[in-house]
Amino acid sequence: MQKLSLFLHVIDNINDRTGKIISFLVVFIVACIVYEVVSRSIFNAPTIWAHELSTLLYGALIIMGGGYTLRHKVHVNVDIVYARLSQRRRAILDLLTFTLFFSFCFVLIWHGGQVAWRSLQLLETTETIWEPPIYPLKLTIPIAGFLLLLQGLAKFIRDLIIVITDKELL
């Protein structure tokens, strides 16, 4: 049980660190938007890159935050029913729905990986006048899917332990 606990702790740490590192993208997003607003409003010199760069960074922030969000149990739930259940029944419900979760992760990893690989091979750019590379963003899709899958596996194991022992493994 100690090795299992260590394994779950490693997964939690990976997603915690990833989430904290990725959260710094907010600073760059805000800087891009402020720069654009000041350029446009004060100097009457709008940029061709600020909006697009902030959108790309936001996309990376959102997709890479999935594992962190699952780790801290802040994904959306239907709390009307879910919150009224005991811890054991919530775990049972989560175990029953994990097939959908793992299917979603599989699609992110498999299909997202194919899309990312194709984009990397082509060194794909956006179809705008600025044409920044888009393949780095597409590469985050399978990576994020894998991190989400890892955290989902940790949650699955924790829920299984709750169902079997009626005790939570921290």
pLDDT of residue 34: 97
**pLDDT > 90? residue 105:** yes
pLDDT of residue 170: 67
Beta bridge partners of 131: none
Q: What predicted TM-score, i.e. pTM, was given to this entire model?
A: 0.92
What lies within 8 Å, CB to CB, of 74 at 6+ separation is: none
Buried b (16+ CB within 10 A) or exposed e, 132-165: eebbebbbbbbbbbbbbbbbbbbbbbbbbbbbee
133 in helix, strand or coil?
Answer: strand
**pLDDT > 80? residue 65:** yes
C-alpha torsion sign, points 113, 94, 166, 86: positive
pLDDT of residue 157: 96
What lies within 8 Å, CB to CB, of 143 at 6+ separation is: 64
Mean pLDDT of 119-138: 97
Averaged pLDDT of the chain: 95
Mean pLDDT of 26-37: 97
Query: What's the token pair of residue 70?
Result: 């699952």
42 in helix, strand or coil?
Answer: coil
More confident residue, 78 or 75: 75
Q: What is the dihedral of CA 137, 17, 87, 81, to 10 degrees?
A: -30
